[in-house]
Structures are given as C-alpha cells and as structure tokens.
Amino acid sequence: MGNFNDGFWNLFIIVCTLGGIFAMYLLTAMNSRATNPRATEPDAMQSGAIASRSDRPAGDGGVETMGHVWDEDLTELNNPLPRWWVILFYLTLVFGAFYLVLYPGLGSNAMLLGWTQVKEYEAEMAQAEERYGPLYEEFVNLPIEQVAADPRALRIGERLFASYCAVCHGSDARGVPGFPNLRDDAWQWGGEPDRIKASILAGRNAVMPGWRDALGGDAGVEEVTAYTLSLSGRTADAAKAAAGKGRYDALCVACHGADGAGNPALGAPNLTDDVWLYGGSEAAVRHSIAEGRQGRMPAHGEFLGEARVHVLAAWVRSLSQR
C-alpha cells in the first residue's frame, strides 16, 4: 500500500480538499441570488420553497416558478436563500480556509502552527508521565516478589493488566485458546519473576513448525499424535503410540525433551501435563503437529517502560501464587 502522505496521495488530498471548498463556494453563490434580478417584491426574498397566492400570478415580480401548484392556487417559487443563511455558509468557508492555514489538512504540509498528532501524543504522554511516573518508580528498584506482596502495587498492576493485557488473556487472566492462562502454574517460557518480566518487556515468538511432510503424511501425524497424548496419560492407540515414539525421538525431542517435559528456554511446552495452549482435543493436537503454530507475544517495554512492566510482572506473578 502506498504512503498516504507522499507523492500522488499527497496531491490527491490537496486537490480534493481545495476542490471541495471551491465547490461549496459555487453552490452557495448559485443559491444566494434570484434567478431573475428584477425580483423586488418582499415575498420574493423569503426562504426556500415559498408559496404565493393567486392574487399574484405565478412569475409576477420576476420570480421564477418551479411549476408546482397545490390546492389550485398554491404555487412554488424559486426564491434565493435568506441573506443571514448565506452569510453563515460563507463564514463556514472562511473558517475552513483559516483552519487549513493553521493546521495540517492539505496532505503532509504542516502549515503555520506545525501541529501533528505525533507531537500531540508525545505531549500528552509526557504530561501523564510527569503526573503518574513517580507511582511506578517507587517500585522499580524493589524485587518483584516484594512488589507482589504490596496491596497498593497489586491494585496498580491490575489496572495495567486491564488496560493492556485483558484483550488477549481475558479480564480474569485465565486466557483463551492460543493465549495462555496466567493463573495456573504452567509457564511456557518460565515462571520465575525475571522470566515473566522479560516476556512482557521484549515479547515472545514461539515457532512450532508443521511436521506433516517430515512425518510422511497423515499416517505419521496420527502416530505422533497418539504418542503425544499418551505422554500426559491420555488414552491412545497403543500401536500408533509405539510407532509415534520413534518419530518423536527423531524429530521432536530436540525441543520438547526426551521425556516431553518441554524447554522453557525455547518456549517448548511441557507435553506431560494437562495444559494445552491451543486445546487438548485429539483434533487440536493433530492440527498443531501437522500444521504447526505461530504464537506471538508482542513486546510492551518500549510502550510501557520498565517501571510499569515491573509492577505488571509482579501482579502477573502473584496470580499463580494465590
């Protein structure tokens, strides 16, 4: 997609904006004067669709009729707009032109005041940081375990979670398929305080490749699915599970480990528990193996700053300790 602030689109915006103002000027001018300048009668200066009684024949006084007659003697005349109304229209056009001189409205031109939404955002953020920053700085140098024991810090962390995290992890932090439950004790990347903080600061990118081709097609996927289910004590076809173990040892053990307990350093989940990020049904597990998964936790460090992330990590940590 092209840049809407440069080149053709910049010119397109300028032409449309100025063309629109000029078109409104023409429209106002055309509707502000009588069709026939000889119109002098008082009722010819009334607004809009004005009706004249038959004591003045249609067209008398130089006012053009619209050709519409009701109730035998009620005729529609083509009178100009009231002067006060026309003046208001012109004033809006003047205001629009004056606004465009001061504020950006003609493509990427900054105009006289140099106002931009980026500057406005940065000013608001600086004001907010000046007002609320000390609340977070109070906790940033304390260990996360200590912050997690402070009721006031937890209230602040809960508000941060509601603002920035609840859309994915749910308002109760119990997650949904594809977004982990933060209240249990299963941590894909490790549940230590520093690991939680690192996840929030820098984000995470988990890559589970699709293995259908490497496993020799759907039959191989079925066998590894059976073995994977058996690791967590699930009922599975014994013959398929036995065959799947050999395939698992060849392709999966590097990430998930020989015992299937996973590797937090790689973000490889534990396959021996009953926690399934994308669902634990046989169909969901089969899909994960065949097609792979691409989980992503966006980084929040640049946006929130370390002090806020520190408090937020403490609140998240406290959830699995309750």
Give pLDDT tens digits for 230-276: 999 999 999 999 999 999 999 999 999 999 999 999 999 999 999 99
pLDDT exceeds 50 at position 56:
no
Statement to judge: residues 277 and 304 lie in one domain:
no
Instruction: State whether 309 and 184 are in the same domain.
Output: yes
What's the CA gap between 54 and 74, in Å, rounded?
Answer: 7
Low-confidence winner among 5-9, 233-237, 298-302 (lowest mean pLDDT): 5-9
DSSP-assigned letters across all residues of 211-276: -TTTTTSHHHHHHHHHHHHHHTT----HHHHHHHHHHHHHHTHHHH-TTS--BTTTTBPPSSSS--
- The lowest-confidence range among 41-45, 153-157, 256-260 is 41-45
Is residue 252, in this structure, part of any structural domain at all?
yes
pLDDT at 51 over 60: no
Rounded CA-CA distance 286/158 in Å is 36
- What is the residue whose two structure tokens read 């081709």? 213
pLDDT tens digits along 263-287: 999 999 999 999 999 999 999 999 9
- Name, in order, each residue with C-beta under 8 angstroms of 284's C-beta and a sequence gap of 6 or more: 177, 276, 278
Q: Check which CATH number belongs to the domain holding 165 and give it.
A: 1.10.760.10
The pLDDT of residue 62 is: 62
Q: Is 101 a member of any domain?
A: no
User: The dihedral of CA 91, 96, 97, 102: what is its sign?
Assistant: positive
- pLDDT attached to residue 217: 96
* Residue 142 and residue 199 in one domain: yes
Task: Specify whether the CB–CB gap between 228 and 199 falls below 8 A.
Answer: no
Of residues 269, 142, 154, the one with CA closest to residue 204: 269
Prediction pTM value: 0.68
* 233 shares a domain with 185: no
Instruction: Compute the distance between CA of residue 138 and CA of residue 131 in angstroms, rounded to an integer.
Output: 13
Cα R_g (the chain), whole angstroms: 35
Q: Residue 119 burial by CB count (10 A; 0-12/13-18/19+): exposed, middle or buried?
A: exposed
**Is residue 168 located within the same domain as residue 214?**
no
What domain range is 261 assigned to? 206-297
Number of domains the chain contains = 2
Q: 304 with 160: CB under 8 angstroms?
A: yes
Q: Give every CB contact of residue 104 below 8 A, 6+ residues apart in sequence.
A: 110, 111, 115, 116
**pLDDT tens-digit map of 168-183:** 999 999 999 999 999 9
Residues 284 and 303 in one domain: no
Task: Looking at the structure, tell me whether residues 164 and 312 fall in a common domain.
Answer: yes
Is the predicted pLDDT of residue 41 greater than 50, yes or no? no
Q: How large a percentage of the chain has pLDDT more than 90? A: 66
192 in a domain, yes or no?
Answer: yes
Q: Which residues of 60-99 are buried (b: 16+ CB within 10 A; e: fewer)?
A: ebebebeeeeeeeeebbbbbbbeeeebeebeeeeeeeeee
Contact 257, 321 (CB under 8 A): no
Residue 50 confidence (pLDDT): 43
Report d(CA 2, CA 163) in Å as an integer: 32
Helix (H, G, I), strand (E, B) or coil at 93: helix
